[in-house]
Amino acid sequence: MNYKLVPMDKSHLSQVEAIERACFSHPWSAALLEQELYNDMISLVVAEGEDGTVLGYGEVRAILDEGTLEKIAVAPQFRRQGVAEEILKSYLRLGQAHLAFLTLEVRESNAPAIALYEKLGFREVGRRKNYYREEHEDALLMTVEFERHD
């Protein structure tokens, strides 16, 4: 499958919103996603197929040298093909160049995501009790630290 990672823009919003609805119990609206496009602290990328199809997307918020992976999602029909890993690797390269660490929260039952994060160097550093209230599920707090070469 051929795709490229590109900065998210307004042309991607309807497809990203559809992925939001497919992947999250509390999806963000297109309007909220559009607001993020204009936030200087946010990096948004999409994995875009040759025909313009959005396969997945990611969002990182950076404040000073601290990064948080806010979202990463892949359309169900494109999962298990390395898309999320490539998006995450792009953020790890960004982090290595500009951040001290990158942190994320993941549902404790999301074994595939946890395995990917661990494969790419994230480690569990804490737990947010009952973070997903409606599902009565904890979130694992995972972080990868970067060596700085200033």
Residue with tokens 């599920």: 137
Cβ contact 8:57 at 8 Å? yes
What is the C-alpha R_g of the chain?
15
**CA 24, CA 72: separation in Å to the nearest integer?**
10
List active site positions.
105, 117
Strand arrangement, sheet containing 66-74:
3-7, 42-49, 54-63, 66-74, 101-107, 137-145, 123-132
Neighbours of 104 (CB within 10 A): 22
CA dihedral angle for residue 31, residue 9, residue 13, residue 77, rounded to 10 degrees = -150
